[in-house]
A and B are shown apart, each in its own frame.
Chain A
Amino acid sequence: MSDPVYVTDALIAEDIDAYLATHQHKDMLRFITCGSVDDGKSTLIGRLLYDSKMIFEDQLAALETDSKKVGTQGQEIDFALLVDGLAAEREQGITIDVAYRFFNTEKRKFIVADCPGHEQYTRNMVTGASTADLAVILIDARKGVLVQTRRHSYLCHLIGIRHLVLAVNKMDLVDYDQATFDAIVADYAAFAQSIGIESFTALPISGFKGDNITALSANTPWFTGPTLVEHLETVEVDTAADQALPLRLPVQWVNRPNLDFRGFSGLIASGTVRPGDAVRVLPSGKTSTVERIVTLDGDLEMAVAGQSVTLTLADEIDCSRGDVIAAADAPPQAADQFEATVVWMDDDPLHVGRGYWLKLGAQTVSVTLQQPKYTVNVNTLDRLAAKTLDLNAIGVTELATDRPLVFEPYAQNRSLGGFILIDKLTNRTVAAGMLNFSLRRAQNVHWQALDISREAHASLKHQQPAVLWFTGLSGSGKSTIANLVEKKLHALGKHTFLLDGDNVRHGLNKDLGFTEADRIENIRRVGEVAKLMADAGLIVLTAFISPFTAERDMVRAMLPEGEFIEVFVDTPLEVAESRDVKGLYKKARSGELKNFTGIDSPYEPPLDPELRVDTTSESPEDAAERIVAHLLARGAA
């Protein structure tokens, strides 16, 4: 068998135009490599780069020097050093992140995501796998199928990678023994079948020695191929399958250079499109036909999944970022409640009930997650009960969005079913998820349009609704001041209502305790009630500790701009504790009362409240006067 690398080299020198013509028609395969710490991933990738001449002479010289200095292969070249990137990891000898590498053969360009095998890095593997068409799972021939092998296979399967390669590496260290190879393959096959992996390709290789990488090795006469590179070159990429699905074009950007042109730009997620095709815009459901597929190089006759395009439609219909242009006869659904599989990727665990941003395609919505139905132990694949999701946890949970999402189950369409979650405060990407299905109740609960609007309610009361949200430590004076404010407003003829923390916990929220999750739910419910009352035209006052910024901001986001007025009753802990009106601090200090804000549960002070009351320097009466003045001045009352 010929070595493809040298054929390529000769062609460059002899007939560069023929070479370029070949390479212009290459396609692309993205794959990931995963294995345990010492399975030889970096060495294998280094070898692939080396064999496809992606290493230049000066890099090779540096590699030889480095190999002698820090290499682990004695005087031989340590290919892993080519691949291990950041300075810190180089010293530790571990790959700690996802790194992307590139190499070419005549047939394909390859993008390799190098994924770490280290215990805590589920997050990185899922990240690398999300863009991969194929996964190479490395096994050390001396060790066979390990816990890590199962974990990596499960994650690849979870992310929906259809092509798995089982690379039994370090065959040189087991004397290229066929029986060892066969036993490992049989062992893996049994496991793969048990988790629903339909097929895989097993290869005996040595990344270090180069056996069965680009050429069949004389050391394994019992193996008839293909080699790893041959397999990578010929395995079918997923584009054909994607093109066979109905059209889905998530609209990223509306292109309006002038009044005569309105184009809808996006990356085609599935299907094909031609001028004249009937399309439906979701979620509105309006239909039209495709007029043109516009590009800088002239209009196209057809575009397919995987291309970034700009379409114009025959009719002037509403369509903006986040909408999906779909085949008219097979549109996707829209829903606002789902079951999803979520991979948690942040040090800060999931806060059940807290609002996060969910981004799916070009849609960004607010979402809350419920307590997980179960989490999956990625080592044993057992299902476990859990109250939350910690870093690297994988769980199945229900979630609700604040407006309908156009979606498809992830198993049908990765682009319309895969999402990320973003923390609203830190802006970090905290999780990745896959929508499994929408919940039936979401399909049957609809908004009822009301004839008497919130404006009508308010104008009858001659006032503008508002929510005065008092927050502060227990004993800071929230209730006292809120009561005074309400009395003054009442005297002015305003329609008000005071929601007090203690009172609400006797009724509406009597099922809730004081864990973090319950506190979040407590505030969510109060927020919803306050919103309904504001819709009814009332000026609502709430007096709750409400210790977390995220929940206060969640309530703020529920209300129209300017109607949420955050009043920070700023009393230092020692002052509140010295007052200890209800004797609660004493109980908390003695350990009798758990999760008490300020003692063993945090209070996040507002950074930019509308009003701040310093109770050490301002009397409740003065504070109430100032709050009423603020309300009147802004025309809210």
Chain B
Amino acid sequence: MTARLTHLQRLEAEAIHIMREVVAEAERPVMLYSVGKDSAVMLHLARKAFYPSPPPFPLLHVDTTWKFQAMYELRDRMAAESGMELLVYQNPEATEQGINPFDHGPLHTDMWKTEGLKQALDKWGFDAAFGGARRDEEKSRAKERIFSFRTASHGWDPKNQRPELWNLYNAKKHKGESIRVFPISNWTELDIWQYIQVNDVPIVPLYFAAPRPTYEWDGQLFMADDIPRLEKVLGKRPEIVERSVRFRTLGCFPLTGAVESTASTLSEVIQETLLTTTSERQGRVIDKDAGGAGMEVKKQQGYF
């Protein structure tokens, strides 16, 4: 009798295989956890890979202090449920300088996320970090390896990556070097949503439409997640209107555009996603600078 494996089963098996290889070969692995839906799937896969043991590595959240409250809540809950250690890192220089998305533009991402990530990896001496990036997200990522090598200064050289054959991964590295590992490289956005549905993976409620306090900024709609703090940074209280909105991606609340929607179930969200005609990352400001090669430049600088 032949059992037919679905695409989700094959993708799951591949991701689990990758995670086990890393745990077997790396000295000090860590999982980067951004609390978004891709991170949620990656965490679920890790729990499957090592069950009945808890995943034998900590979760690392490189925090910007500007995430949605609902993200912090889910993060703490999932860490507790999975029995994993949760490490939260906030770049002390960014804290000190009060870096925020309104006054500092691209520097906000650079200081909190790019620099914050490098500092966190150095601080704990992690030599392998799982990330939830997918090859379908962006053109330059289509050529990213599953095991992506970084120099001791976290640089990425797209011309000097190791060939990956069959399912054999070369995890050998010199002292100080590290690997970023992308177990869900071959998943598309639709795969992620389907997997969440089939496996009941907990995700942040912000992905579902609900009446929420919103304000307009620069022609886009945002959620007023922390009104007193917004007032402080903006110097005034933005005009807040309650609208039925949801989010297609999650990041810092002042940088993550909301979309007006009534999709309140997972099926409806997937339906809306599939019918939608703008790509996923468009709600985020990060890819737009530096023209067509934006993400590639960021990666060479050490952004995930």
Residues of A that sit less than 8 Å from B by CB: 12-13, 16-17, 19-20, 23-28, 54, 56-59, 62, 66, 82-83, 85-87, 90, 97-102, 104, 108-109, 111, 114, 123-124, 126-127, 130-131, 239-240, 243-244, 252-253, 255-257, 261, 263, 265-267, 272, 294-297, 302, 304, 306-308, 310, 321, 345, 357, 359-362, 414-415, 418-420, 422, 427-429, 432
Contact = CB atoms under 8 A, between A and B. Distances in A.
A239 B4 CA distance: 8
Given A12-B274, A99-B143, A420 B165 contact: yes
Contacts of A102: 135-136, 186, 188
B163 A418 contact: no
A100 B24 contact: no
Interface of A is mostly: mixed
B240 interface: no
B172 A85 contact: no
A389 B197 CA distance: 50
- Dominant secondary structure at the B interface: helix
Contacts of A432: 163, 165
A16 B272 CA distance: 10
Contact of B191 (A97, A109, A131, A256): A109
Given A86-B140, A345-B163, A267 B52 contact: no
Contact of B278 (A17, A20, A56, A418): A56
B167 A272 contact: no
B11 A127 contact: no
A83 to B, nearest CB: 8
B10 A87 contact: no
B121 interface: no
B170 A422 contact: yes
Contacts of B17: 252, 266-267, 308
A240 B5 CA distance: 10
6 contacts: A27-B5, A87-B292, A295-B48, A362-B21, A420-B170, A429-B165
A294 B2 CA distance: 21
A306 B10 contact: yes
Contact of B13 (A26, A104, A307): A307
Contacts of B49: 265, 308
A85 B143 contact: yes
Given A296-B47, A308-B20, 4 more contacts: A16-B271, A28-B5, A86-B296, A90-B292
Contact of B168 (A101, A244, A321, A418): A418
B102 interface: no
B97 to A, nearest CB: 31
A252 B5 contact: no
Given A85-B139, A97-B143, A308-B17, A294 B52 contact: yes
Contact of A427 (B4, B173, B293): B173
> Which of A114, A294, A432 gathers most chain B CB within 10 Å?
A432
Given A13-B275, A23-B190, A99 B142 contact: yes
A62 B11 contact: no
Contacts of B277: 56-58
Interface residues of B, number: 68
Contacts of A27: 4-7, 10
A57 B142 CA distance: 19
A85 B140 contact: yes
Given A28-B7, A304-B3, A308-B49, A23 B194 contact: yes
Nearest to A428: B162
Contacts of B293: 86-87, 90
Given A23-B190, A127-B165, A307-B5, A257 B52 contact: yes
Nearest to A321: B24
A92 to B, nearest CB: 12
Nearest to B24: A253
Given A56-B279, A310-B51, A428-B162, A422 B172 contact: yes
Nearest to A243: B2
Nearest to A8: B274
Contacts of A109: 7, 188, 191
Contacts of A62: 292
B194 A20 contact: yes
Nearest to A58: B278
A100 B142 contact: yes
B121 to A, nearest CB: 19
A405 to B, nearest CB: 13
Contacts of B23: 253
B166 A130 contact: yes
Nearest to B50: A255
Contacts of A357: 172
A99 B20 CA distance: 24
B296 A87 contact: yes
Interface string B127-143: 00000000110011011
A307 B168 CA distance: 16
B279 A272 contact: no
Interface string B28-54: 000000000000000000011111111
B282 interface: yes
Given A85-B139, A109-B191, A253-B23, A123 B163 contact: yes
B148 to A, nearest CB: 13
Given A56-B278, A253-B23, A261-B52, A308 B12 contact: yes
